[in-house]
Structures are given as structure tokens and as C-alpha cells.
């Protein structure tokens, strides 16, 4: 079947059977993707995709929408061939995805949700790589690269590696990689995720430019993006297609009409406004009434009354106390909520929250389930009880994390056992012997392969020399030992031959020719190489054996070396210092502790990098509590590891490491070692930005600064090296290092133990009456035996007292430095003593910003305390770069304040200062009258925080996470559990409540982060992009919770890249550019003030002469509206832009109602400037330098 058969009756019938809400299909347009009855059933699960029928056309962007679990991802996976369909068919450019996968993929490009780029490849190299993969000939590669580098607006970054690109540039490169190589079908999975509105707009422009000749399929959670880019939008629910059509068709089919937003003046009475609208729309009700904004819904059925109604409203605006107003039409998000209601209801049922299953009515607040906990303020614990809660929370966090990392725990326990076992095996194979064994001096003793040289000079036949020479030869001929050979040089000079051979083949001379002999007339010369210890003796033995055989043919000479016994002094010294087990245990324990203790940095690095540490600080826990509990937990955990070491040693029963006293000393050293190494590792963790990197580098550092110095000093102490001075010097230099201390301590303990053992044993050998170590020390003058009965804890060598002291001091000093760093005591001294750069003078500001500035500057102390947040000249420098410049504003109680700006505007820096994560360079901020600079710990009790990136413990579940933060907030257990359950239900993650965080989706993680921020009823909550990655239904649940918090009198400071989110939640907002506020006020006020005109969408009735009707309508509109132009016309739907900002609303509707009488207009809609347009107007001024 051809994928370009665009008018197949079977398809239309199948579509009608399943989808009742669909727009007309384009005619005469090639089909890029044709899906027919596509079904996917996973084993043991319901249908994920259920009999899907869908066509996607060339030159169009088809947007695929659906709640989480609707089947979008599975559909795309089947189209790419990654997942096989259970039944049904799909064609890409006419090729079946199952039977013709290779051909289908040739024209397919994919942009995944996350950037799949090679960090070390440049922009141009990426285009080359993907173009070559898709079969672009070499001679056309340069043109392809030039085209896409220019198209992506990355000409200046052509030879820059991808790791150095900004987020927006990386996304554009990912899209370019999908489109290059003549990809006629392009799948784009949330291509603008994480981008600010300006970067999103740039990417939108790119996609609009490139859609010609391509079939583009796009998924997104931004409904405004679907509205702008989607030529046709398909909404899936429960694996089925619910509706498909143009954005205009879907809005009209599912829309509720217009929303009128009114900015109330001081004298406005809401009932009077409602009464006015009821004269035209009797059933009208308030939609929202928050702060200075009042909204109503005006059904589209009453659009004919709009001209008269709005004209009279305009005339009575002042008498009603109205400051300004504006209209907006049904958003695509409302369409999505209605079309996907099945999924939402299902999700809500699973979350036991049926009241939130319907579509979200803007920011109207409906009560949730009746089982909500009492809204009365929580009676939080204080003082010692709060401290006890904090300690309990910290231990719970550490216990959960440790128990969930089973592999790490196993390695920590098994590594010492393996190292001790290795030590014992090596030690037992290297036992010290009081007498060295005898050695037979022969070529057969220890040589693998030998060559013996022989020469003669004037040897007389029959002489003893001649007979000896023959016996010498016969020995090699008759030997059964393999590898021995004899080279007879005849009368050649053996010495010269040997020297010449050394010049050409030294390795052969050294390894294979140990001996030789020259037989003369009156003498015999024995040659030896001198490379072996016994070469001279072996050569002489073989010559003497030949002489004996010459004199007595039946005799044989065997030479054996019996070493002399040790002297008493040497015997004791060797026994005292030569314990193999002592050295092996000392080195191997140090080596394994280098690995075991390196695991200490893993969790603390993850906790800091993820932001979880900051979130705990914001929740009220003090650094001293956090680090002390961590120290106790890690010390206790290492103690369990040490018990395994002690039990292993007890099992092997090695000498000096077997009795309770000996094992007790080992345990003592290890416990003191923990006191030193744990804080030291905590301090070191601050120098690493990745847990894996920190672990590997700490392993290396521990070995390099502990094990290596131990080996070097051991070598310097050997008699053969004889450098005791340097050994002593280096011992003091490395003494502060815990790994060195522990190895040195065990080694010196071993020396002491074996010295006593050797000297005590000597008394038995000498059979001296009343013999003691004191006797041997003084009578035999053996200094090694001049040792006390209990020398272990002495300061002097071989006592280990100085090492225990050093480790204790390192632990105390390290922990003190850690707390100084965490309480930022040195930074405070630095900031108070150093001269900070002077904040830049604030230039000409918007009048609203200036008014707010003057209002706040005049606040008394009492007025400051009456506001949730007051910022006065808040400023932040990074060295000499001004990131935030003298922000001055106040957030009222019960207000949602929006803080907008593109990446680099200073939003995150502002949040960091307000949460204590960054120093305030100048100015100050006050939370309920308390200064962030001087009373930060008190401020933390009054704020909640949801950071931009999820600051969660990956190994904990949602339930455990909320339980820990309930304890930190001082919420009693019974109330805390109920509140946590309520938030899980309200935010829609009850299904995932007991799932580990790392296994949750990005949207669910954001919900948990939001729940943490809202937990505890903090009067001021900072939310940094809380709904990133959520589908519209999930967003609505979050919006409901935020709005409930505002209704309850809590204040919200919100940043978001979703303009619709700001419109739904914020009563006031500001746009931040280059670290300053450029506008500030209620949303509708800003729209009216910075209005750029209106958008008019007109749909012409279908008919034979529709094209001519569209032209007539266009002419009418351009004639009746000044400065208007046609933006696009598609399937009878025309979009116009009217730049006449002074045109009243009633006049627009009046002109359009007249047009409806003259032309076949099916419907029309008018919309004012969007918040995004206002935002973009200001962000064009944003500098290129990112904060």
C-alpha cells in the first residue's frame, strides 16, 4: 500500500468509527505517515495503543498530545521501529515500518527529549556525522553543513564543541541533526523542554522554516507551543485517538468561550460589575477574584451581544471602578483537558481525588476531597523536641540511603576480609626460619636453560688436563637435566669470544651462559659470569668434579653450601622485624581502608550537587546537626566493618593478632582512625562535582598519601638501604595522614609484639636461670630486647601513641574546619572586611517599578514585618560581574508573585540569595521582618522552597521523603502523615507514593518537590519552575494546590517558562532583564500597558467558492482595521494581526458582527496581546552574558 494515498475511504471510515471529533482532512496533499489500526499490547498489561488510525501530511507539523500513559511514547517507538506493533500497520513515506524498516528509516530523523550529542564533536562535525549516516554523498557534505549551520544560526559556533554550547544552542543542534540528510519525516520529542520563551521562539521559527517538504511529528507539554506550531493536533487518551483537527477547530469544538479579565480600582465593587454583566449574560458567574484581578467567562453563544455590552462597559468603566480590562479566548489547554478527560479521571480515581477530575477552571479554587486535614495552623514542635526531630530525620535519611545501597555495603564488608585473607596466605608462605636451607651448587639448581663454553690450549694427550677435559664434556653429554648444552670453542680464546658475544647479545650472555672452562697444558681456568649469586662457586665445582673424575673415574663430587647459623643478636633482630604477617596486615589494611573510606564521599557529594543539602537547610536543620549525625552514622557503620575485620583475624589465629588484648588494640586503632578520616573525607567532598569522580580520586589520594609513603619509609628502614634519618623525617611529615597512621600503627604494633616474642623465646634457648628480657638486654647487650612489658601506647617508637594523637587531632581540626565552612564564618569576616563593588546606579525605570521602589523604601519596620517578603536594593556581584542590580519590591501576604526572565536574567541568583544559598553583596531582604543576612536560621522556619532541579534523595520513596521533611519542619507525626498523604493525593502522585524517587518520571519528581515546598504551611514559598515536565492535567493539580495556598494567606514567589501558568496563578508579576526589573504589576495591567495589538482568527464556511470568500473577507478586514495584515490562511482559516492598540474591544466585535452578515463566516475569535509577547518584548534587551 502506498503511504501517499491520501483519500482512502477505508481510512476515513476507520477514523469515523473511532473519532467523532475530527476536522476535515486535507485534500491532494501527500501523506508522510499513515497509521492503520495500530495496536500494542505489552505482556500482562492492557492495550497501550488501541486500534490507532491517524494520518500525518507533508508540509505540516502534526502535534501529538496526551496525558502521561496516553500512548504517545509507545506510538513514536513503533514508528521508529524500536518497538514492534502487536497488530496493525504504519507506513513512513509508503514503507511499512515492520517489513520495510530499513527503507522507512532512511528518510526518518529523530530529536529525543534529551540532547543526544557527542561532547567532543563540533557543530559541523555533528552535521557531517548524521548526514553521512543518512547516506549523503561526500561531495555534498560541505553544502549540507553550510546550509544547516546557517539555518540553525550557529555560524559563530561552527567549530565549537557541543559541551560549550548553551541549552538553546544544544537543542537547535539536536533538531538540526534530526533534519539533516534529507529527513522527510522528523519526530520531535519535546524539542523545547527546559528552554526559556525566547529560546523556544527561536526554535519555533526554525521548525516553521523547515516544515516544507517534510512531515513533522511533535510532542510537547506546552499547549501554547502546540497552538503556534501545530497545523493539525491529535489528542490521545487511553491509547486511542480522541480528536484531531486544526487548533481553531478544537478550540471551537471544546471551548468555553471568552474570558474577560478586569483590573479593579480602589472603588470597585465586585457585585456591581457582576450585576452589569448579568443584564447581557444572565447566567454569568465570577470565575476568579484574587487580589486586584476579577475574571468572568463569556460564552461564545453570546458573541452577538459583545459589541453593545462592551461599548456600554467601556462607558461605565470609571463609574464601576475599573482600571482596565481585556479579553482572551479558549486556550488549547482547556481543549486538551476536556479531550483527555478519560485519562485524567482515571488518574484521579487512582489518586482517590475525584473532585479534581474535571477540567481546571483557570485559577478558580474548588475544595478538594472532604478528607483534607483541618486547615487550622499546625502546632509545630519547638526547642528540644524540634532538635530531636531533626536528629531523627537525619538518621532516617542516612539509614534509608545505606540500606538501599546494598552493593556498596557489600563491598565495604567484603574488601577487608579479602585483604586479610591475602595477607595470611602470603605470610604463611613466607615464614621466617632460624636457619637458611642448604643449597646444592650445580647448574641443575635453579637454571632453566644454560650454555657452557669450553676451550683448550696446548693440551697434551693422556695428560690429566686432557682426561679432565673429556670428563667435563661427558658431564654435559650424559646429563638428564633438560636445557644444558656445551659449546666447544676448540683452541679459540674463550675470553675474547665472551666479550665479543657480550657486545652483540648481552641478554644471552647474562641469562644463558653462567660458567665456562679453559683447559691448558699445565692449568685449568674456571670462568663465571658474575651475574648470579653462586656462579663462581658452581663453575669451580664443575671443574673440580672433572679433575676428580680424571684422577678417579668412578668417583663424583657434589658441592653443597651450608650457611652459618645466625648470631644471637642477628637472630633476634630478624625475628623482631621480619614478621611477614605484620607487614602484610599493615599494608593491606591501609590499602583496603583507602577504598572503604572513599565511599564516604559518595552520598555527601550527591546530596550537595542535587541541592538536597540546601533543601534540608531551608527546612530548618542546622549544619552542626547535619554533620554530627552523619559523623556518628558513618562511625557506627565503619565500626560494623571493623567487627568483620576482628572476627576474620580471630578465625585465622595468626601470631600477635589472635588474643583479646591484641585484637582490642587493633579495634582501638581502627576506631580512632574513623574519627580522623570521616571529617577529612567530608571536607574533601567539597572539591568534587560528581560522586563517581570524587570516589575514584579519593581512592587515589588515599593510596598516594597513605600506602605509598608507608612503603617508602619501610624501604628506608631496611639495613640494605640504611637511611634511618630520612625514614624518621618522612614519618613525621606523613603522620597527619590517617591512612599512613593506621598502616604505621599496625606495623609498629607488630614489631613490638614480635620483639617481645623473640626475646622471650631466646631465654628458653640460652637456658639462663631467671632469664627475662631485662637480663638479655643488659647481659647480652641486645638493644632490641630493651623493651617494656606494655610498649604499645608509648609516644616513642615503636609505640603508637603519637599516631593515635595525630589521628585524634586531625579529626577534631577537620570537623572544626567543616563547621566553620558550613556556617560561613570566614566568608562573613571576608565580606565585612573587604570592599565590595559599588552597585550600578539604577537608570530610568518603568513608572510601575519606580513606584514600587519608592513605596518599599518608605516602609517602616512595622510595615516590613507585615509583608511576607521585602527586598531593598538586593544586589549580587560575582567578582566584578553584576548579576542582580538593586532589586526593590515587596510581596504581600496571600499573593502569588511571578518572577520572569530568560536564562541569564538573574532569577536563579535572586532565588539563591533569598534562600541563603548565595551571599547578598549589597542591600538586604526581609521575610516577615527578619533579615536574611543576619537571621537566616529564623528565616528558614518561615519559607518553603522548590528548586529548579529536583533536590531529592534518589533512593528514598515519596512517602519517606515527605516523612523526613515533616520531621524537619517540626510537624507532629500524626499530623505530618495526614498532610503528606493529602499533598500526595492533591498533587496526583499517590500511585507513586511508595516508589523510589529514581524510578519516578520527571513530572512525578517535580510533584514531590512541590509537596516538600508546600509541606509545613510555610507562610512564604519559593517555587522555581515547579511544573517543568508535567502534562497539562498534572499542571492543573499543582496549580490548584498553589492557589489553595494563596487563598489560605500564604505567599508564593514563582518563576516559570510557562506563560499560561503565570496567567493562571500570578496576581502580580515582573519581567527581569540583565538583573533588573523592567516592568511590574498585575497581568492585565501589563497587557494593556504594553499591548502590541490583537490577533483575529476567522473561519470561512466550506463551499465550492471558499477561496474567493477568503479573499473577500481579507479585503474587508484590511479595509476596516488600520494597520492589519494577514499572517496565514489554511483550510479556510485566516489569521490576522491588528496593530491598532487604541481600538476598543466593542468596535472590533461590532465590525466582525457586520462582516458575519455580509460574508459566509462560520466563526471568529479575537485575542489581546499575550503575556508571552509582553515577555519577549522585554527579553530582547537581555545582554548576551548569562548570570
Kindly state whether residue 476 falls inside one of the protein's structural domains: yes
Cα torsion 1039, 1042, 1047, 1053: sign:
negative
Give the confidence band of 1057 by pLDDT, cuts at 50, 70, 90: confident
Cα torsion 978, 980, 985, 990: sign:
negative
* Residues 603, 546 share a domain: no
Question: How many structural domains comprise the chain?
Answer: 4
| Lowest mean pLDDT segment, chosen from 65-69, 92-96, 398-402 | 65-69
pLDDT digits (tens, 9 = 90+) for 1007-1019: 999 999 999 889 9
User: Cα(884)–Cα(1025) distance, rounded to whole angstroms?
Assistant: 19
Helix, strand, coil percentages, rounded to 5, for the chain: 50, 20, 30
**In the chain, pLDDT over 90 holds for what percent of residues?**
31
Q: What is the pLDDT of residue 116?
A: 85
Give the confidence band of 770 by pLDDT, cuts at 50, 70, 90: low
* Partners of residue 87 on adjacent β-strands: 39
| Domain CATH for 312 | 3.30.70.260
* Residues 537, 472 share a domain: yes
User: Cα(1032)–Cα(1030) distance, rounded to whole angstroms?
Assistant: 6
Kindly state whether residue 245 falls inside one of the protein's structural domains: no
Residue where a domain terminates, one of 762, 793, 822? 822
* Residues 759, 617 share a domain: yes
Average pLDDT of the residues in 881-905: 89
The pTM of the full predicted model, rounded to 2 decimals, is 0.73
Which residue from 359, 278, 1061 is spatially nearest to 286, judged by alpha carbons? 278
Kindly state whether residue 384 falls inside one of the protein's structural domains: no
Kindly state whether residue 936 falls inside one of the protein's structural domains: no
pLDDT digits (tens, 9 = 90+) for 491-532: 888 888 888 888 888 888 888 888 899 998 888 999 888 777
Which residue from 462, 460, 488 is spatially nearest to 473, judged by alpha carbons? 488
The residue with greater pLDDT, 256 or 439, is 439
Say if residues 1121 and 1140 touch (Cβ distance below 8 Å): yes
Kindly state whether residue 627 falls inside one of the protein's structural domains: yes
- Longest alpha-carbon distance in the chain: 149
* Residues 703, 612 share a domain: yes
User: Cα(701)–Cα(433) distance, rounded to whole angstroms?
Assistant: 37
The residue with greater pLDDT, 105 or 871, is 871
Domain of 324, in residue numbers: 256-328
* Residues 594, 553 share a domain: no
Residue where a domain terminates, one of 769, 800, 822? 822
* Residues 709, 594 share a domain: yes
* Residues 592, 509 share a domain: no
Q: Is 448 helix (H, G, I), strand (E, B) or coil?
A: coil
Nearest 5 degrees, angle CA 622-CA 625-CA 627?
105
* Residues 590, 513 share a domain: no
Q: Is the pLDDT of residue 146 over 80?
A: yes
User: Cα(865)–Cα(31) distance, rounded to whole angstroms?
Assistant: 64
The residue with greater pLDDT, 746 or 143, is 143
Kindly state whether residue 648 falls inside one of the protein's structural domains: yes
* Residues 551, 595 share a domain: no
Q: What is the pLDDT of residue 457?
A: 87
* Residues 610, 542 share a domain: no
* Residues 622, 498 share a domain: no
Average pLDDT of the residues in 630-654: 92
Cα torsion 137, 141, 142, 146: sign:
positive
The residue with greater pLDDT, 756 or 701, is 701
Kindly state whether residue 540 falls inside one of the protein's structural domains: yes
Classify residue 119 as exposed, middle or buried by CB count within 10 Å of its CB (0-12, 13-18, 19+).
exposed
Give the confidence band of 362 by pLDDT, cuts at 50, 70, 90: very low
Average pLDDT of the residues in 926-954: 91
Give the confidence band of 215 by pLDDT, cuts at 50, 70, 90: very high
Nearest-10 Cα torsion for 48, 50, 55, 59: -10
| Lowest mean pLDDT segment, chosen from 35-49, 464-478, 838-852 | 838-852
Residue where a domain terminates, one of 805, 822, 839? 822
Kindly state whether residue 360 falls inside one of the protein's structural domains: no
Give the confidence band of 17 by pLDDT, cuts at 50, 70, 90: very low
Q: Is 770 helix (H, G, I), strand (E, B) or coil?
A: coil
Say if residues 185 and 214 touch (Cβ distance below 8 Å): yes
Burial track 440-451 (b if 16+ CB lie within 10 A, e otherwise):
ebbbeeebeebb
Q: Is the pLDDT of residue 1145 over 80?
A: yes
* Residues 590, 553 share a domain: no
Give the confidence band of 380 by pLDDT, cuts at 50, 70, 90: confident
Radius of gyration (Cα) for the chain, nearest Å? 43
| Lowest mean pLDDT segment, chosen from 449-453, 732-736, 792-796, 1070-1074 | 792-796
The residue with greater pLDDT, 1101 or 158, is 158
Amino acid at each position: 500500500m502506498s503511504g501517499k494515498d491520501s483519500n482512502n475511504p477505508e481510512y476515513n471510515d476507520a477514523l469515523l468509527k473511532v473519532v467523532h471529533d475530527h476536522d476535515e482532512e486535507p485534500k491532494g496533499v501527500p501523506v508522510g505517515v499513515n497509521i492503520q489500526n495500530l495496536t500494542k499490547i505489552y505482556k500482562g498489561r492492557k492495550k497501550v495503543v488501541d486500534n490507532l488510525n491517524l494520518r500525518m501530511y507533508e508540509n505540516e507539523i502534526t502535534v501529538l498530545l496526551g496525558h502521561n500513559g496516553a500512548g504517545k511514547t509507545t506510538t513514536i517507538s513503533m514508528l521508529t521501529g524500536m518497538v514492534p506493533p502487536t497488530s496493525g500497520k504504519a507506513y513512513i513515506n509508503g514503507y511499512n515500518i515492520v517489513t520495510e524498516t530499513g527503507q522507512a528509516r532512511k528518510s526518518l530523523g529523530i530529536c529525543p527529549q534529551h540532547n543526544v550529542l557527542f561532547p567532543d564533536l563540533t557543530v559541523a562535525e555533528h552535521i557531517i556525522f548524521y548526514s553521512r549516516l543518512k547516506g549523503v554523498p561526500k561531495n555534498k557534505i560541505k553544502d549540507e553543513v553550510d546550509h544547516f549551520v546557517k539555518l540553525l544560526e550557529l555560524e559563530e559556533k561552527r567549530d565549537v564543541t557541543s559541551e560549550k554550547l548553551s541549552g538553546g544552542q544544544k537543542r537547535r543542534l539536536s533538531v538540526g541533526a534530526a533534519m539533516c540528510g534529507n529527513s522527510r519525516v522528523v519526530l520531535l520529542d519535546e524539542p523545547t523542554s527546559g528552554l526559556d520563551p525566547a529560546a523556544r521562539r527561536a526554535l519555533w521559527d526554525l521548525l516553521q522554516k523547515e516544515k516544507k517538504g517534510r512531515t513533522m511529528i511533535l510532542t510537547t507539554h506546552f499547549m501554547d507551543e502546540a497552538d503556534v506550531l501545530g497545523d493539525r493536533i491529535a489528542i490521545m487518551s487511553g491509547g486511542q485517538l480522541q480528536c484531531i483537527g486544526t487548533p481553531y477547530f478544537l478550540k471551537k469544538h471544546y471551548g468555553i468561550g471568552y474570558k474577560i479579565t478586569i483590573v479593579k480600582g480602589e472603588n470597585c465593587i465586585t457585585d456591581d460589575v457582576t450585576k452589569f454583566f448579568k443584564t447581557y449574560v444572565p447566567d454569568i458567574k465570577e470565575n476568579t477574584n484574587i487580589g486586584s484581578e476579577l475574571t468572568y467567562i463569556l460564552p461564545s453563544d453570546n458573541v452577538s451581544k459583545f459589541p453593545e455590552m462592551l461599548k456600554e462597559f467601556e462607558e461605565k468603566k470609571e463609574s464601576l471602578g475599573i482600571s482596565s480590562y481585556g479579553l482572551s479566548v479558549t486556550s488549547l489547554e482547556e481543549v486538551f483537558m476536556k479531550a483527555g478527560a478519560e485519562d485524567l479521571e482515571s488518574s484521579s480515581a487512582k489518586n482517590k481525588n475525584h473532585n479534581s477530575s474535571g477540567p481546571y477552571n483557570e485559577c478558580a479554587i474548588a475544595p478538594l476531597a472532604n478528607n483534607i486535614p483541618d486547615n487550622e495552623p499546625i502546632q509545630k514542635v519547638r526547642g528540644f523536641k524540634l532538635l530531636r526531630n531533626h536528629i531523627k530525620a537525619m538518621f532516617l535519611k542516612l539509614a534509608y540511603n545505606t540500606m538501599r545501597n546494598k552493593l556498596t555495603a557489600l563491598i565495604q564488608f567484603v574488601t577487608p576480609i579479602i585483604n586479610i585473607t591475602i595477607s595470611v596466605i602470603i605470610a604463611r608462605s613466607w615464614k621466617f626460619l632460624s636457619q637458611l636451607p642448604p643449597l646444592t651448587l650445580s647448574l641443575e639448581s635453579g637454571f632453566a636453560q644454560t650454555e657452557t663454553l669450553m676451550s683448550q690450549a696446548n693440551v697434551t694427550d693422556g695428560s690429566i688436563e686432557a682426561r679432565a677435559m673429556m670428563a667435563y664434556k661427558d658431564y654435559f653429554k650424559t646429563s638428564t637435566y633438560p636445557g644444558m648444552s656445551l659449546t666447544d670453542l676448540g683452541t679459540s680464546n674463550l675470553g675474547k669470544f665472551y666479550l665479543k658475544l657480550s657486545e652483540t647479545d648481552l641478554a644471552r650472555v647474562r641469562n644463558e651462559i653462567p660458567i665456562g672452562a679453559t683447559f691448558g697444558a699445565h692449568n685449568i681456568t674456571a670462568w663465571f659470569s658474575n651475574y648470579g649469586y653462586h656462579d663462581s662457586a658452581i663453575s669451580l665445582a664443575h671443574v673440580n668434579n672433572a679433575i676428580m673424575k680424571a684422577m678417579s673415574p668412578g668417583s663424583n663430587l657434589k658441592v653443597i653450601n651450608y650457611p652459618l647459623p645466625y648470631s644471637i643478636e642477628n637472630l633476634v633482630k630478624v625475628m623482631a622485624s621480619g614478621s611477614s604477617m605484620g607487614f602484610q596486615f599493615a599494608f593491606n589494611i591501609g590499602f583496603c581502608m583507602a577504598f572503604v573510606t572513599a565511599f564516604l564521599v559518595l552520598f555527601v557529594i550527591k546530596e550537595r550537587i542535587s541541592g538536597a543539602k540546601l533543601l534540608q537547610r531551608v527546612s530548618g536543620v542546622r549544619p552542626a546537626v547535619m554533620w554530627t549525625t552523619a559523623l556518628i552514622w558513618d562511625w557506627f557503620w565503619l565500626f560494623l566493618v571493623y567487627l568483620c575485620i576482628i572476627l576474620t583475624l580471630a578465625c585465622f589465629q595468626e601470631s600477635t593478632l589472635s588474643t583479646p588484648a591484641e585484637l582490642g588494640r587493633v579495634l582501638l586503632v581502627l576506631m580512632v582512625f574513623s574519627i580522623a578520616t570521616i571529617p577529612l573525607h567530608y571536607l574533601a567532598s567539597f572539591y568534587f562535582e560528581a560522586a563517581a569522580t570524587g570516589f575514584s580520586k579519593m581512592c587515589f589520594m588515599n593510596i598516594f598519601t597513605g600506602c605509598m609513603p608507608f612503603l617508602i619509609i619501610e624501604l628506608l628502614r631496611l639495613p640494605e638501604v640504611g637511611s634511618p634519618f630520612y625514614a624518621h623525617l618522612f614519618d613525621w611529615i606523613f603522620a597527619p595522614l590517617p591512612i599512613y597512621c593506621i598502616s604505621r600503627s599496625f606495623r609498629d604494633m607488630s614489631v613490638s609484639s614480635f620483639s617481645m616474642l623473640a626475646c622471650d623465646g631466646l631465654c628458653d634457648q640460652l637456658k639462663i636461670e631467671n632469664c627475662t628480657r631485662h637480663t638479655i638486654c643488659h647481659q647480652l647487650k641486645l638493644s632490641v630486647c630493651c623493651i617494656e612489658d606494655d610498649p604499645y601506647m608509648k609516644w616513642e617508637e615503636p609505640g603508637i601513641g603519637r599516631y593515635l594523637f595525630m589521628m585524634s587531632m586531625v579529626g577534631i581540626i577537620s570537623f572544626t574546619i567543616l563547621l566553620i565552612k558550613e556556617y560561613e564564618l570566614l566568608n562573613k569576616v571576608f565580606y565585612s572586611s573587604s570592599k565590595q563593588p559599588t552597585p550600578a546606579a539604577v537608570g530610568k525605570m518603568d513608572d510601575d517599578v519606580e513606584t514600587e521602589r519608592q513605596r518599599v523604601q518608605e516602609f517602616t519596620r512595622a510595615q516590613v514585618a507585615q509583608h511576607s517578603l521585602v527586598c531593598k536594593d538586593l544586589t549580587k556581584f560575582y567578582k566584578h560581574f553584576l548579576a542582580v542590580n538593586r532589586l526593590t519590591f515587596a510581596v504581600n501576604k496571600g499573593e502569588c508573585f511571578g518572577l520572569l526572565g530568560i536564562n541569564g536574567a538573574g532569577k536563579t541568583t535572586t532565588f539563591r540569595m533569598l534562600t541563603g544559598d548565595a551571599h547578598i553583596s549589597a542591600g538586604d531582604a526581609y521575610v516577615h521582618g527578619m533579615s536574611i543576612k543576619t537571621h537566616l536560621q529564623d528565616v528558614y522556619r518561615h519559607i518553603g522552597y522548590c528548586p529548579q532541579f529536583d533536590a531529592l534523595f534518589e533512593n528514598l520513596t515519596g512517602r519517606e521523603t515527605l516523612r523526613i521533611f515533616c520531621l524537619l519542619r517540626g510537624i507532629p507525626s500524626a499530623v505530618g502523615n495526614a498532610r503528606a498523604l493529602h499533598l500526595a493525593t492533591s498533587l496526583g502522585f499517590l500511585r507513586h507514593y511508595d516508589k523510589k524517587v529514581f524510578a519516578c518520571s520527571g513530572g512525578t519528581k517535580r510533584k514531590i518537590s512541590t509537596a516538600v515546598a508546600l509541606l509545613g504551611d510555610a507562610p512564604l514559598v519559593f517555587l522555581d519552575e515547579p511544573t517543568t515536565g508535567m502534562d497539562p492535567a498534572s499542571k492543573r493539580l499543582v496549580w490548584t494546590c498553589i492557589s489553595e495556598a494563596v487563598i489560605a494567606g500564604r505567599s508564593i514567589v514563582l518563576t516559570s517558562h510557562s506563560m499560561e501558568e503565570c496567567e493562571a496563578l500570578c496576581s502580580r508579576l515582573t519581567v527581569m532583564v540583565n538583573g533588573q526589573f523592567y516592568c511590574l504589576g498585575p497581568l492585565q495591567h501589563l497587557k494593556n500597558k504594553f499591548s502590541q495589538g490583537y490577533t483575529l482568527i476567522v473561519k470561512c464556511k466550506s463551499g465550492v467558492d471558499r477561496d474567493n470568500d477568503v479573499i473577500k473577507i481579507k479585503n474587508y478586514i484590511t479595509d476596516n482595521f488600520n494597520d492589519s495584515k494577514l499572517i496565514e490562511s489554511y483550510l479556510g482559516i485566516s489569521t490576522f494581526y491588528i496593530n491598532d492598540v487604541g481600538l476598543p474591544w466593542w468596535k472590533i466585535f461590532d465590525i466582525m458582527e457586520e462582516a458575519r452578515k455580509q460574508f459566509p463566516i462560520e466563526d471568529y475569535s479575537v485575542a489581546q496581546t499575550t503575556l508571552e509577547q509582553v515577555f519577549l518584548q522585554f527579553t530582547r534587551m537581555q545582554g548576551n552574558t548569562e548570570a
